[in-house]
Amino acid sequence: LHIQVPSLEHDGRVTGESLDLIKYIDTNFQGPALLPQDPAKRQFADELIAYADAFTKALYSPLISQVAMSDEAVAALDKIEAALSKFSDGPFFLGQFSLVDIAYVTILERVQIYYSNLRNYEIAKDRPNLERYTEEMNKIEAYKQTKNVPLALLDAAKRHLKANTTFLQVLFFIPFGLYYRY
């Protein structure tokens, strides 16, 4: 199995973890800031980024173990719903688009497809902030250009749900730099 991961070499330093790479670019290059200057928003951003692995595990564990929706997965989605309501100056995690949105959008996109089709569970049902977030993300042209093809993603997931867990971990987690930990 050959996997390519994004990396950047700049001023003799190599950065390879996706979120670290984005933070580095945000800090060292010109352009719109992906992390806010507001201390409360920056702290919340750090908390949400730190939570990304736990969120991913909570949502993918039921899929990998082929069980129904778990209480842990529902709680994780409810936590994201609450996080999306913390700031009222926009539809995104920190109000305005940020690194946090980059960290979560692919996870949410994939689990929405998987849960809707494999578990008949709509992750945004009764979660208006998550529904609005998804609608607003889908208006961003750069995001639309990188979205997964839902049926292709679903077909791959169905094929590999019958495969071994190690391959599933690679399929679901490595493409966006998050690793499932036991």
Q: What pLDDT shows up at residue 23?
A: 81
The pLDDT tens digits of the residues spanning 119-155 come to 899 999 999 999 999 999 999 999 988 887 777 877 8
Q: What would the CATH number be for the domain defined by 38-176?
A: 1.20.1050.10
Q: CA 60 to CA 145: how far, in whole Å?
A: 25
DSSP lists the bridge partners of residue 10 as 13
Tokens 């990998």 -> residue? 64
Q: Check residues 99 and 179 and name the one with the higher pLDDT.
A: 99
The pLDDT tens digits of the residues spanning 15-30 come to 777 777 888 888 888 8
Tell me the residue type at 111: V
Q: Who's near 103: CB < 8 A, 6+ residues apart? A: 19, 48, 49, 52
Cα–Cα distances (Å) from 84 to 96, 136, 145, in that order, read: 11, 12, 24
Q: CA 145 to CA 129: how far, in whole Å?
A: 23
Q: CA 161 to CA 155: how far, in whole Å?
A: 10
Tokens 């639309």 -> residue? 144
Tell me the residue type at 151: L
Q: CA 18 to CA 146: how far, in whole Å?
A: 15
Span of 108-112, 133-137, 164-168, 176-180 with lowest mean pLDDT: 176-180
